Every structure is written in structure tokens, then in C-alpha cells.
Chain A
Amino acid sequence: MNFDWSSIPGALPILWQGMIVTLEITLVGVLFGILIGTLLAMLRLSPNRLWSWLSAAYVTVFRSIPLVMVLFWFHLILVPLVAGLLFPGKRLELGLLTALTAFSLFEASYYAEIIRAGILSVTKGQFHAGLALGMNRGQVMRVVILPQALRRMVPLLLTQAIILFQDSTLVYVINLDDFFRKAYNIGNTVGTLNELILFAGAVYLVICTLASGCVRQLHRKLTVLPVK
């Protein structure tokens, strides 16, 4: 088998556009995933049974459905429906929005579990100490528990971000041109599909390996830091 790499240098600007989409999905997914995930974790741990149950149900549902299907449903049903209600009659480019919403809500269910475990790893004594000083539950959570929990969770949160980065390639099912789909399209058009896909794979490999290395370094640093 002969490889022809000559089409790659010329394709770089287009591939870069795709990479921007990939990074957008990753960053937004991580950010909103953590925000919504924190909220879900707090609801899950709240003394209110209804909130706790709703949060548990959300997490169970999203963790039990394959990501591809979540993307499909958002693409075919949910986002068009909501957009139709909000902006009736308009034709909108919804691909990116769909991906961002789907990933944020999907990742939130994974982040919720990581964050819940982090919160539970902070001892009850810390909670009591905060309460005993006259802070209310919300304040204790915000200024005493969460800062400690998040610090312990950083490596896990970042590892989940790396997984998200890889999973973002699934947006090809909703015709969104991320890095992988750009590479696939160029390869298909020029006739060097194998080369482009190998190249794309190498890029993912390099980025993820570097990121994992950083997480390991960080983990080492954080565990050396005085925790207790």
C-alpha cells in the first residue's frame, strides 16, 4: 500500500477550522457539564427527597443511553422543537448548538457522579465546623466543602475532559464538521482517505497523550499539597 501525504499541508487551514469546532464542543461540554453536574450533585445530596430522586433519575437516564443516540435525539427532535417554538418559521443552522447542548447535558451526568463522590470525600466534621460558626448550609457548601472537593477532583475532571475530547468525534452523525469529519471529507474528496484518517488519529493521539501527562503531573502536585 502506498501512502500519499501530499494533500495534508494544503488541508491544514480547513482542518484547523474543524479543530476549532472540536475544541468548542470540548470546552463548552466541560464547562457546562461541571456547572450542571455540580448542581445535580448538590440536589442529589440535598435532604429533599424529591430533588434527590429527580437528580438520581437524570443521572441514571443519561448514563444508560449511548451518546450517539442522545446526539440523534437532540438533532432530530429536541433542538428543532425548541427552536421552532422560540423562533417560529426561521431556518436556523443548529448543528453546533445541538452538539453543545447534547454534550453539556450528557457530560453533566458523568460530572455529577465525580462531584458527588468528591463532596462525600470531605468529612462530616468539616460540615459541622462550618455550621457551628453560624454559616447556613449553602454557605458551608460554597466556601468550605466545594473548594476542597473540587481540588481533590481536578485530576478526574480533567480525565473526563480528555474522554469528552475524543467522544466529540461522534458529532459526525449529525453532520457537524469537527476536526475528524473535516479530515474525512477532505480525504474522501481528494482520494487520500487512509492518509487523512491516519493523520487525524495521530493528532488525537498526540493531544490526548500530552494532556494525560499534564494531568499526571498535576495530580502529583495536588497530592503533595497539604490536604489535611
Chain B
Amino acid sequence: MISIRNVSKWYGEFQALAKCSTEVSKGEVVVICGPSGSGKSTLIKCVNGLELFQEGEIWVDGISVADRKTDLPKLRSRVGMVFQHFELFPHLTILDNVTLAQCRVLGRSKKQAAEKAVQLLEMVGLVEQKPKFPAQLSGGQQQRVAIARALAMDPVAMLFDEPTSALDPEMINEVLDVMVRLAQFGMTMLVVTHEMGFAKRVADRVIFMDRGEIVEDRPKQPFFEKPETERARQFLSKILTH
């Protein structure tokens, strides 16, 4: 479904990604973790072309992201993305947030889009909030709306960029619960997160990144029980001992 091959990226002199390669198959849940500044977010933003990369290839559902002839908006409409800071559109109601791109990009009618939106808002438990504006919702609620907004496009895969990092602790679980359910439905997911509980529960594989490199890329069981590298061991001991 998602194939990343030898991707490198530089910001001027600074190398943000160094020959990163990995695959995510259909229905697979892959968690990317690593210290801040290790290139995790940059890597998943390359997957839907929000960040450009200078070397390598990324294929999503058989389409090359780096190919200049690729219709990037079309490709992005098929890959959902959830951001650290939710990025709901503050001037639109919750309902309009979820219907906007359905109408503008997929050409659905207002009615069709609203039906889809209501169905998804029900799934994330927020259908009563649909006439409200984002600022009237808590962070956890906003992030659940953001997930519904991405799902409304019927994506073939979902990217999550630290979806719980900006949340107060008591709101993290309501968002993770939605993500766990998605994983159980068989959604293909690439998730940047520090929530190792989530990784242990639903991830198929864990990728550990450091300084722009993919250092480990293994099934979760062996990764958590016996990391191969010293860097991953240190990282895990830092975030798991508290």
C-alpha cells in the first residue's frame, strides 16, 4: 500500500532523512517512534507530498509521489492525515469541517456529504456537537472530529502525526480508542506517536528513527522485548520507565 524506498531529504546542509526505506501493506498498522527531531514527522509528510524529498521514491497505492506528473491533490484525497494540532478549520462548524472536502474534492452533494459526516461523527461520539465551532470543543473532541474529517474522504490509508502530543493527559485515551477501533476495522495506518501502549496493543510493526535514519523496523513483539540497537534501548528505557 505504502512503499518508501531510499528516501533522503536535506534542509540546506542539514540532512533530515537518510535513505529511509520501509513498506506498509494493506491493513497493516505501523508505528514510528524516536526522539524529537529524528525525522518521523518529516517522513510521514513526505508520504502525501506535504514535504518534498530530493532522493528516493515513495509509492502510495501504486502511484509515485515524487513523479511530477502525479496529480498530488488526487493522491492526497485518498490518504487521510491527522495532525498534532488538529488543524480543524476554525471558521467552520464541526459539520462543515467534515463536509467541506467531500463537496469540493469528491463532488458529493451537500446532502450526501452531511449523511456521511453524521455517520462518522456518530462513530467518534460527537454527533451532538455538529453545529458548534471547533473552539467550543475540547482538544480531544477536536482531534476526534479531525479523524472523522479525514475518514469522510474514504481514504485507503491514514497517516497520524503525533495525534495525542498536544492533548491534556485525560484526553489522550478518547483519541487512542478511536484509533484502536480504526485499526481493528482493518484500516492501513502509519502512526507517529510516543504512545507505546497503543503500539503494543494494535501495531503490527514498530519503526524506530534517530537522526533521520530508520534504525529499527521490526514486528512489535521482538522490538519491545529485545531492541537490537543501543539507541532504541536507550529511547525505550527513557519513555517506558515513568
**Interface on A for B, CB 8 Å cutoff?**
125-126, 128-136, 139, 143-144, 147-148, 151, 226-228
Contacts and interface: CB of A to CB of B under 8 A. Distances in A.
Interface in B1-54: 45, 48, 50
A135 B90 contact: no
A35 B5 CA distance: 46
B188 to A, nearest CB: 16
B104 A139 contact: yes
A226 B93 CA distance: 12
Interface string B86-98: 0111110000000
B65 interface: no
B18 to A, nearest CB: 24
Which secondary structure characterizes the binding site on chain A? Answer: helix
A148 B77 CA distance: 23
A143 B100 contact: yes
B150 interface: yes
B62 interface: no
Interface size class for chain B? 20 to 34
Contacts of B80: 132
Interface string B70-83: 00011011111101
B85 interface: yes
Contacts of A139: 104-105
B138 interface: no
A144 B89 CA distance: 7
A30 B106 CA distance: 36
A148 B87 contact: no
B76 A128 contact: no
Given A128-B87, A143-B100, A151-B91, A134 B135 contact: no
21 contacts: A125-B87, A128-B87, A129-B88, A129-B89, A132-B48, A132-B83, A132-B150, A133-B76, A133-B101, A133-B105, A133-B153, A134-B74, A134-B153, A135-B73, A139-B104, A139-B105, A144-B89, A148-B89, A148-B90, A226-B135, A227-B135
Scoring B85, B89, B100, B135 by chain A CB atoms within 10 A of each residue's CB, the highest score goes to B89
Interface in B90-146: 90-91, 100-101, 104-106, 133-136
B201 to A, nearest CB: 26
A126 B89 contact: yes
A16 B100 CA distance: 47
A125 to B, nearest CB: 5
B205 interface: no
A123 B130 CA distance: 24
Nearest to A227: B90
Interface of B: 45, 48, 50, 73-74, 76-81, 83, 85, 87-91, 100-101, 104-106, 133-136, 149-150, 153
Given A132-B81, A135-B105, 10 more contacts: A126-B87, A126-B89, A132-B48, A132-B76, A133-B76, A133-B149, A143-B100, A147-B91, A151-B91, A226-B136
Contacts of A131: 50, 73, 76
A136 B135 contact: no
A226 B91 CA distance: 8
A125 B100 CA distance: 17
B89 A135 contact: no
Contacts of A148: 89-91
B160 to A, nearest CB: 12
B131 to A, nearest CB: 14
A134 B73 contact: yes
6 interchain residue pairs of minimum CB distance: A134-B77, A226-B135, A129-B87, A133-B101, A132-B81, A134-B105
Contact of A133 (B85, B91, B150): B150
Contact of A226 (B48, B50, B85, B90): B90
B28 to A, nearest CB: 21
B143 to A, nearest CB: 12
A144 B91 CA distance: 8
Nearest to A145: B89
Contacts of B88: 129
Contacts of B50: 128, 131-132
B139 to A, nearest CB: 12
Nearest to A128: B50
A171 B78 CA distance: 56
